[in-house]
Amino acid sequence: SQQGEEDPQALSIQEGENATMNCSYKTSINNLQWYRQNSGRGLVHLILIRSNEREKHSGRLRVTLDTSKKSSSLLITASRAADTASYFCATDARRDDKIIFGKGTRLHILP
Amino acid sequence: DAGVTQSPTHLIKTRGQHVTLRCSPISGHKSVSWYQQVLGQGPQFIFQYYEKEERGRGNFPDRFSARQFPNYSSELNVNALLLGDSALYLCASSLWGRGTEAFFGQGTRLTVV
């Protein structure tokens, strides 16, 4: 079974609004990464957050990590049409060298 | 700087055939990972290599194999292709594997007919 599970599976919001996506995982991790994928092509790395970090920012992106709840959230502020994409979280488990992706959240920004 | 490059971009094969996919990592990166992504799903981990040694393997049959060369490029081989092997195959490179950011190529779209 997959380590990460994103929630919601799909999200539609108006341009300019904030978008929040959540990721839950099952086992202890070294770090968690968020990626964006447009039209089923290559993934673009957004942010890496380590297990000893609680929050990271990058431009309009804010990621939080709660290791006690085994969950992470990705916030995109002031959304734009170009943010329309699928977003995935990927976890790097402590027990092995696998990086496990969730099924993703499909974000659609409405004009 | 060139990013991760994968070849070919698209490929059509017949059931039972063999396929080789290629990946060139970002210069200076020593780790390469392979993923399979079926439409509508997240990428599934297949292999990770670091310094030419296998560091991790996902739940894929032995028909899937890979190797990493001295220049850190990598090949993914799939034997006895099945219709279910049709997917986007993604390669990612990173400095030294776990704990470092992974950068993805655009993928190879494999269709098995």
pLDDT digits (tens, 9 = 90+) for A10-37: 999 999 999 999 999 988 888 999 999 9
Q: Average pLDDT in the B70-87 region?
A: 97
Residues 6 or more apart from B4 whose CB is under 8 A from it? A42, B23, B24, B25, B26, B91, B92, B93, B103, B104, B105
Q: What is the mean pLDDT of chain A?
A: 90
Shortest distance, CA B79 to any CA of chain A (angstroms): 23
Q: Give me B45's structure tokens.
A: 């981990």
Q: Give me A10's structure tokens.
A: 């799909």
- How large a percentage of chain B has pLDDT more than 70? 99
CB distance B104–A42 less than 8 Å? yes
Predicted confidence band at A6 (pLDDT cuts at 50, 70, 90)?
Answer: confident
Q: Average pLDDT in the A71-98 region?
A: 89
CB distance B106–A41 less than 8 Å? yes
Is it the case that residue A96 has pLDDT exceeding 90? no
CB pairs A-B closer than 8 Å: 65
Q: Give me B10's structure tokens.
A: 């698209």
Which of these, B28, B2, B16, B14, lies nearest to B105 by C-alpha position?
A: B2
Strands B19-24 and B31-37: unpaired
Give the separation between CA B104 and CA B113, rounded to whole angstroms. Answer: 27
**Long-range contacts (CB closer than 8 Å, 24 or more residues apart) made by B48-55:** B48/A97, B48/A98, B48/A99, B48/B97, B49/B74, B50/B96, B50/B97, B55/A97, B55/B31, B55/B97, B55/B98
- How large a percentage of chain B has pLDDT more than 90? 84
- What phi and psi values does residue A84 have, to the nearest 5 degrees? -60, 120
Give the separation between CA A93 and CA B22, rounded to whole angstroms. Answer: 27
Q: Average pLDDT in the B12-23 region?
A: 98
- How large a percentage of chain A has pLDDT more than 70? 92
Is it the case that residue A95 has pLDDT exceeding 80? no
Residues 6 or more apart from A108 whose CB is under 8 A from it? A10, A11, A12, A13, A84
pLDDT digits (tens, 9 = 90+) for B25-74: 999 999 999 999 998 889 999 999 999 999 889 999 999 999 999 999 99
Give the separation between CA B72 and CA B62, rounded to whole angstroms. Answer: 22
Give pLDDT, residue B21. 98
- Measured between CB atoms, which of B33, B41, B103 is closest to A99? B33
pLDDT top residue among A44 and A95: A44
Give pLDDT, residue A2. 47
Q: Average pLDDT in the B64-91 region?
A: 97
Give pLDDT, residue A1. 43
- Measured between CB atoms, which of A50, A88, A98 is closest to B56? A98
Q: Give me B92's structure tokens.
A: 């990612």
Q: What count of other Cβ atoms lies within 10 Å of the Cβ of residue A103?
A: 17
Give pLDDT, residue B96. 80
* Cβ A37 vs Cβ A44: under 8 Å: yes
Q: What is the mean pLDDT of chain B?
A: 94
Is any Cβ of chain B less than 8 angstroms from the Cβ of A96?
yes
Give pLDDT, residue A69. 95
Is any Cβ of chain B less than 8 angstroms from the Cβ of A95?
no
Give pLDDT, residue A3. 58
Is it the case that residue B110 has pLDDT exceeding 90? yes
